[in-house]
């Protein structure tokens, strides 16, 4: 097998292509021939060695990918060679509430990820992916897709007619636009440029606010909702956006805490939360059950995740650089085999 790994440390200087013997599956495992992988913001945090002490080299990066089962262990009954599957981000979260050792079972750190030609995983840690998706589209599902799904489902699922504010146009945000729209919700999205605003409208966003042209986007959100505020905010920005997210939501509404692209330490004006009965709920990707439920919705609505750029397997470092540059609209993917679509 061929695989990319960080060895001796993190950073581009420690990311290299290696070769090893292809592993064999144990009795309850499957051997997957990987076809495509996708990058998430989190993978940059790993690249930069900032993902905490639990994530250490040697490490195969990336949690998101798709491949074909080529061999099953002797006790595997529910999967067969030829099945196209994606790994679950958490290898230990079947459904219901998260297990206490959740963080120990994340792919792409601390567990090896999927930027490799072959990967052995427990058969319970993978799901079949919808047939209408290309390999690169399906590769984006485990983290970006499931996170968007969890933010719109959970205890209080999004309902038709609800207004959802989504911050930014990253992988999670774009999938959230598609899923919220399919659920019959109205979407308002903030973004960084007029060009991205245009692309978001083409994707089906109902209202888009260019935050470069409208820095006080929270007031604009209020104006677009007749002064009331939105029902739900998908808070992907973190430190520098949480205050405005709170200003943007209606009394009794929900802030779904997902991301931290602008930093980790947020200051919150508590009366704005306490006097308006807001719910602040965090999302941590989601369970296998959530992944399966999302796949049904993607299938039903024939939704396609947005792929913005595709790199070859030998160009993995360029894919990381593209993510770092934030210039690609849509998910950044890697074709692991040349005939991946």
DSSP code of 141? I
Q: By CB under 6 A, which span of 22-30, 106-114, 141-149, 310-318 interacts with ligand NAP?
A: 141-149
Q: By CB under 6 A, which span of 96-104, 123-131, 254-262, 289-297 interacts with ligand NAP?
A: 254-262
Q: Write out the binding residues for ligand NAP, residues 47-66 only, by CB under 6 A.
A: none
How many Å apart are CA 93 and CA 124, to the nearest integer? 10
In this complex, which beta carbon is closest to ligand NAP, that of residue 120 or of residue 261? 261
- Smallest separation (angstroms) from ligand NAP to the CB of 75: 31
For the record, the structure tokens of 260 come out as 């931290």
Strand 249-257 relative to strand 230-235, pairing: parallel
Residues recorded for the chain: 341
For the record, the structure tokens of 328 come out as 């690609």
196 sits near ligand NAP (criterion: CB under 6 A): yes
How many Å apart are CA 147 and CA 235, to the nearest integer? 12
Of positions 114, 258, 266, 294, contacts ligand NAP by CB under 6 A? 258
CB within 8 A of 146, min separation 6: which ones?
89, 285, 286, 290, 291, 294
Q: Write out the binding residues for ligand NAP, residues 166-185 only, by CB under 6 A.
A: 167-173
In this complex, which beta carbon is closest to ligand NAP, that of residue 38 or of residue 69? 38
259 sits near ligand NAP (criterion: CB under 6 A): yes
CB within 8 A of 52, min separation 6: which ones?
none
Of positions 285, 290, 334, 340, contacts ligand NAP by CB under 6 A? 285
CA dihedral 48, 50, 53, 59 (to 10 degrees): -30
326 sits near ligand NAP (criterion: CB under 6 A): yes
143 sits near ligand NAP (criterion: CB under 6 A): yes
- Smallest separation (angstroms) from ligand NAP to the CB of 266: 12
In this complex, which beta carbon is closest to ligand NAP, that of residue 17 or of residue 322? 322
In a 13 Å sphere around the CA of 133, the CA atoms on its Cβ side amount to 31
Computed over its alpha carbons, how large is the radius of gyration of the chain? 20
Q: Name the closest residue to ligand NAP (Cβ).
A: 170
54, 104 Cβ separation under 8 angstroms: yes
- List of residues contacting ligand NAP (CB under 6 A): 40-42, 143-144, 147, 167-173, 191-192, 196, 236-237, 240-241, 258-262, 283-285, 323, 326
């Amino acid at each position: 097998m061929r695989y990319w790994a960080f060895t001796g440390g993190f950073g581009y200087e420690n990311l290299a292509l290696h070769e090893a013997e292809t592993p064999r599956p144990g009795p309850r495992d499957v051997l997957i021939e990987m076809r495509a992988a996708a990058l998430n913001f989190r993978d940059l945090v790993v690249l930069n060695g900032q993902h905490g002490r639990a994530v250490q080299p040697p490490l195969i990066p990336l949690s998101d990918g798709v491949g074909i089962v080529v061999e099953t262990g002797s006790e595997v009954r529910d999967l067969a060679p030829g099945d196209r599957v994606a790994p679950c981000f958490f290898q230990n979260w079947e459904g219901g509430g998260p297990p206490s050792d959740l963080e120990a079972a994340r792919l792409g750190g601390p567990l090896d990820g999927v930027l490799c030609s072959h990967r052995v995983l427990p058969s319970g840690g993978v799901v079949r992916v919808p047939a209408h998706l290309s390999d690169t589209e399906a590769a984006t599902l485990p983290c970006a897709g499931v996170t968007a799904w969890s933010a719109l489902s959970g205890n209080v699922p999004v309902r038709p007619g609800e207004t959802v504010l989504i911050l930014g146009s990253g992988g999670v945000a774009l999938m959230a636009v598609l899923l919220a729209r399919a659920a019959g919700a109205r979407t308002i999205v903030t973004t960084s440029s007029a060009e991205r605003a245009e692309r978001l409208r083409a994707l089906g966003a109902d209202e888009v606010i260019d935050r470069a042209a409208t820095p006080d986007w929270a007031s604009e959100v209020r104006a677009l909702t007749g002064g009331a505020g939105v029902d739900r905010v998908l808070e992907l920005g973190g430190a520098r956006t949480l205050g405005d997210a709170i200003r943007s939501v209606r009394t009794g509404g929900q802030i779904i805490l997902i991301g931290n692209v602008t930093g980790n330490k947020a200051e919150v004006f508590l009366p704005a939360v306490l006097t308006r009965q807001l719910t602040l709920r965090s999302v941590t990707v989601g369970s296998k059950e959530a992944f399966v439920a999302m796949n049904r919705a993607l299938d039903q609505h024939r939704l396609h995740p947005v792929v913005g750029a595709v790199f070859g397997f030998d160009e993995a470092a360029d894919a990381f650089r593209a993510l770092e540059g934030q210039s690609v609209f849509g998910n950044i993917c890697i074709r692991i085999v040349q005939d991946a679509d």
